[in-house]
Amino acid sequence: MASNPSFSSVLLTALLATAALFASSACSTYLQAQEPSMSKLHNNKGFRVKLEYVKYSGKNLSRLERVENWIKPRRHSSLQKINGNLNKIFSSIRPGDDMGDLFMELSIGTPPKTHSMIMDTGSDLIWIGCDHRITSVHKKKPNVFYTKDSLSYSELPCSSGLCKQLPDTICGVDYCEYNYSYGGGDFSTRGILARENLTFGDVTVPDIAFGCGADNAEDWTEPGSGIVGLGRGVLSLVLQLKETKFGYCLPSMADTKSSGALLIGELESLNIEKLSGVKTTPLIRNQLEPSHYYLSLEGISIGKTKLPIKKSAFELNTEDGSGGLYIDSGTPITRLEKSAYDLVKEELIRQINLPVYESEESDLGFDLCFKLQQGIGWDEVEVPEFRFHFDGADLDLGRENYMIEYEEGQVCLAMLASHLMASIFGSVQQQNLLVIHNLGKETLSFVPTQCDQL
């Protein structure tokens, strides 16, 4: 015969039930309070996030030092595909090891914690460095997401459709473990695919799939917490938000005080169609490299000379996925198919009235540099117009967008030959250019813009 419960045990049970009910109610109230902001994404005009270069930790760096920090660590980090094997995704970005990455702020979890993340249109996965342990406040690192602190964190099972979208997974346990590689394989993040609430300003979006990176490369350092992938794959932020439009404006790399913007949604507040000088070109799909935004580059002109570039130089090979050109915010220096690049070099040498710096390459890898004459500043030197002929849209580059004042008395072409399987239109060439991706219409539009005035 069961004994009757004591008064104390009944009281304890009642107290625990009340506490559980209160905690559940508090959590529900918090989450419900966040849900109305969702309508700002889907029913209004989208949202924007400020883009800023990483701060220099109080260092007073020269322009040369800023250029070096932006370019040098990434010289050998462009996209590669090894032996046609697509079991890993490779992006041009090599995060965390230099001071030129463009960072965006977002908050993650419930309650939300703010983190700085690198924006990358050349990859899909959103990921953040994670710690699954219960950690005391004074031992916590600011750029790490502590999963035990969030009420909304959950891990995705191996049976999840999103898990199957990852190129390299391990499913020996209940959760989906991934391995994601960047920079030709010299940087990777490994962890668990999970879901969380992401907050951008006052806009909160629930159940976004992301990589909770527990094992990241040793050179991943502060201040970056992770990467926000904006590629064409289903794991990217844009596709998870089910948005058909997004855009960005990258500020001048010479001015670290200026800021840019990432814009997601309908972008009605910008009146894109009414902006003067907007050019539009079709986006091309590469079925074997589906994450990237390929464009049809039909030619290049320097000054009044259209270069005799062979038609096949920038053509996409649909059989093996090689060739073509894609635009990428994570690659600083544009890479051109070698025969086309050689013609660019020859024509610039012919048209720029400066002696060529006699060196096989600079410390940063530039292989075409000019000597400035003593007493003459770079701004005083006449340079030719540099024009990319995209399908239906010509893009004129200003001097800042194709030449870099590398050091005193020396300026270099901010482009290189591509030794990869594709050409890449990099971020130096995109400075102060508003770039709009319309995935519904499969187009990319651009217009010169002062990014800090958007």
Q: Is 230 left (phi over 0), alpha (psi -120 to 50) or beta?
A: alpha
Residue 120 annotated as catalytic: yes
Residue 215 annotated as catalytic: no
Three-class DSSP category at 69: helix
Say which of 97, 120, 149, 367 is annotated catalytic: 120
Say which of 328, 363, 367, 379 is annotated catalytic: 328
Task: Give the tokens for residue 445.
Answer: 């539009």
Residue 351's closest CA among 314, 396, 382? 382
Cα(265)–Cα(335) distance, rounded to whole angstroms? 30
Q: What single-letter amino acid sits at 272? A: I
The DSSP result for 282-334, as a single string, is: EEE--TTSTTSEEE-EEEEEETTEEP---GGGG-B-TTT--B-EEE-TT--SE
Cα(424)–Cα(333) distance, rounded to whole angstroms? 8
First to last CA, the chain: 77
* Residue with the two structure tokens 């806009």: 203
Phi, psi values for residue 119, rounded to 5°: -85, 130
Catalytic residues, which ones? 120, 328
